[in-house]
Structure 1
Amino acid sequence: MIESIKIIEFFNYATELKASDIHLYTGSFPMYRLHGKLYRAEEYGITTKDEVRQLIFNITDDFLKARFFSENLDDIDFSVDIPGAGRFRVNVFRCSAGDALVFRVIPSRIPTMEELGLPPSVEEMIRTRHSGLVLVTGKAGHGKTTTISAMLEYINKEFPYNIIMIEDPIEFVFEPKRSHISQRQVGEHANSFEQAIKSSLREDPDVIVIGEIRDFATASMTIQAAETGPLVISTLHTRSAVETIGRFVNFFPEDHRLNIRFLLADCMQGIISQTLVPKIDRTGRVLATEIMMGTTAISTLIREDKSQLMYSTIETGAKDGMQTLDFNLKNLMEANIIDPKDAFRYCNDKKRFLYYLDKM
């Protein structure tokens, strides 16, 4: 599939290092991201225009070629299996230097929730709550897709469910076990997230997975789907559980937000807000999470738009499986897994966390 020996060798080198991303730009050295840091692989030389163009031709089908090389200046997103290297999510785009590609490495095996370091309350939520809305949030590249995949694989092994996944593009490929899993890619199997969600509601779903809530139309169909009975799981790019509520509500026009808060309060089952923090020995990154459950208290605060009280409710909600990100960071720091400087860098309440560090 890849004709350039140099690029094949670079891919093998990066994947053996367990890089998370691979970058190829016309006229630049190849790069890879490892444990959150970007490195240049100068030993592989400058990537030429012809090498980049040939790689694009080798890994795209006729439909993707037509989109990228049209006059519309479209970038393209897709997933691809590269023999000997693995499976990747790919973005192909143009920049001032020429064509470019960024590959996100998709692990060959779906990890368990325990292996990821998710708290037991997440498994309990997935095991006992079979309808409503679950959101997994965090910055790009901080493991949201992997967390959702681990949750789905648990459901796949434990329940005879009909699972419909709507993605852009398809990343992890699931093998049905107790569940039946339909994976649909926007742009290939459906025109939009909105259309695919609407269609899925007529397909007797138990679980609907929506790759990302990006706009009003997707948010509107997400809340509608969560109201109708299935468990709906999706992602947002937010840093905390409290921020997630505000971001979701703000997708809607101002005169709709009161009603949306009521709907969200009724169907919200939980929010997992996560970040990956470098380990103290710099051998990798560890998951740190904030967990907010859809308890009666949280539902009331959502309904009454009292977001300023949610953080303290999460802090005191350990018996309900809740925890703040800062609490988890303190535990990781005290276990000598992460450095105090990194804990401070990733915490939400800098003032309180600094006070805690000063007392150590």
Structure 2
Amino acid sequence: MINNIYLTKTRCFGYTDQQLALDDNTFLSYDLVEGWVKKYNLKEDQTKDFTEALKGVRYRVHLFCSKRGWNAALRLLPSKILSFDTLGVGSNDVLSVCKGTGLTLFCGPTGSGKSTTMNTVIDSLLNSGELGVTITIEDPVEYLHHKDTIFQREVGTKVKDFKTGLVDALRANPTTIVIGEIRDAETALEALKAGLNGHRVLATLHASSIKEAISRLWAFLDEQGDELLVQSLQGIVAQHLIHIANNKKYCLYEALEVDQKVKNILNQVLDHNSQLTLNACDLRQKNRMTLVEKKQKLIINGIDENLLNCIS
């Protein structure tokens, strides 16, 4: 049985018991959702993420089953890659942590725009001639890069899984490898190895801050992997997307370049099994503000503090 259909721009879910108008000419019907379920031969305990073009407009679709039946959540995908100015992200802050080889992480909660920022970086590096031959492993492919040196592979259709895609990518020896999301220990380890072998590796990770991103990676890894993290990690960008009145949004972010000082801090944590002590000082030395500092600035400027409770 097909039941609920949801359409969102930012994953704000709603309920409908009838066909849903995506625009003046396109309607999402139960028949369409049922067709997707049959196409992917889904069982009730399975979910599916994919992209779908309807009347020339691309959507990210998530299919899942509940007690009420099959459900579809759709998110509108931008038709073009956004600029740093449009994102409200400082280009110098972000590009400085992904210029060389090694792993750069783009972090944030669901819906924070981390994939959007990562793809803006890809586009910027492409335009500056620094990107080189690039292989992406994504689930699903959200942003289309129309360049013959960028090869986008979708998990489940063009490659089995993220780990297999990474191993395949290393055989092709690209300049840049893009990982849609690090979800498990195997992908984390292969990403770090690729960075250590001289590739620029860009990936997203669900984490609310720089410290949480490092802690999450450590949770994935064994002792050997911990050492790889210190050697391979190039930078981290953590961001939150704050929705305020009149459909306005603020992107709050912090960016950390993993230089020798940061590596020394990470090594001390490993050597003494102590608590991670990265703090505001490590960002201030690079003339950057932390997420908490930017939060306080917004509150001073009149933004409702309740909208910023996700940042602590």
Q: TM-score, normalised by structure 1?
A: 0.76
Matched-pair contact (CA < 8 Å) for 1:276–1:288: yes
Pair 1:327 & 2:304 matched: no
The correspondence for 1:288, drawn from 252, 270, 292, is 252
Question: Where in structure 2 are the equivalents of 1:183-332 lying within 5 Å?
Answer: 183-252=152-221, 256-257=222-223, 259-279=224-244, 281-305=245-269, 306-314=274-282, 317-332=283-298
Question: Where in structure 2 are the equivalents of 1:72-91 lying within 5 Å?
Answer: 73-83=45-55, 86-91=57-62
Secondary structure of 1:182's counterpart equals strand
Residue 52 of structure 1: how far off its partner (Å): 5.0
Q: Which amino acid aligns with 1:310?
A: L
Equivalent pairs counted in the alignment come to 299
Secondary structure of 2:220's counterpart equals coil
Aligned to 1:68: 41
Aligned to 1:141: 111
Residue 110 of structure 1: how far off its partner (Å): 0.7
Residue 284 of structure 1: how far off its partner (Å): 2.5
Matched-pair contact (CA < 8 Å) for 1:291–1:321: no
Q: Which amino acid aligns with 1:171?
A: E
Aligned to 2:95: 123
Counterpart CA distance in 2 for 1:291 and 1:327 is 13
Pair 1:172 & 2:143 matched: yes
Aligned to 1:99: 70
Secondary structure of 1:115's counterpart equals helix
Counterpart CA distance in 2 for 1:78 and 1:36 is 15
Secondary structure of 1:301's counterpart equals helix
Counterpart CA distance in 2 for 1:122 and 1:318 is 15
Q: Report the CA distance shift for 1:225/1:342 in structure 2 as closer, same or farther (over 3 A).
A: same
Q: Which amino acid aligns with 2:47?
A: D
Residue 94 of structure 1: how far off its partner (Å): 1.7
Runs of 4+ aligned structure 1 residues displaced above 6 Å come to none
**Unmatched segments (≥5 aa) in structure 1:** 1-24, 349-360
Identity level (%): 25
**Unmatched segments (≥5 aa) in structure 2:** 21-27
Counterpart CA distance in 1 for 2:275 and 2:83 is 32
**CA RMSD of superposed structures (Å):** 2.5
Secondary structure of 1:277's counterpart equals strand
Matched-pair contact (CA < 8 Å) for 1:273–1:289: yes
Matched-pair contact (CA < 8 Å) for 2:96–2:257: no
Residues 277-334 of structure 1 show CA distances to partners (whole Å, capped at 9, x for unaligned) of 123x3422210012222022211111222544212443xx324254311112223334
Counterpart CA distance in 2 for 1:103 and 1:32 is 5
Pair 1:159 & 2:147 matched: no
Relative contact order (C-alpha < 8 Å, sep 6+): which is higher?
2
Aligned to 2:33: 56
Q: Which amino acid aligns with 1:250?
A: A
Residue 116 of structure 1: how far off its partner (Å): 0.7
Secondary structure of 1:65's counterpart equals helix
Q: Report the CA distance shift for 1:68/1:92 in structure 2 as closer, same or farther (over 3 A).
A: farther
Matched-pair contact (CA < 8 Å) for 2:252–2:294: yes
Matched-pair contact (CA < 8 Å) for 1:68–1:76: no
Q: Report the CA distance shift for 1:107/1:156 in structure 2 as closer, same or farther (over 3 A).
A: same
Counterpart CA distance in 1 for 2:86 and 2:253 is 14
Q: Which amino acid aligns with 1:107?
A: P
Larger Rg: 1
Matched-pair contact (CA < 8 Å) for 2:137–2:178: yes
Q: Which amino acid aligns with 2:264?
A: T
Q: Which amino acid aligns with 1:162?
A: V
Residue 97 of structure 1: how far off its partner (Å): 0.9
Aligned to 1:16: none
Q: TM-score, normalised by structure 2?
A: 0.86
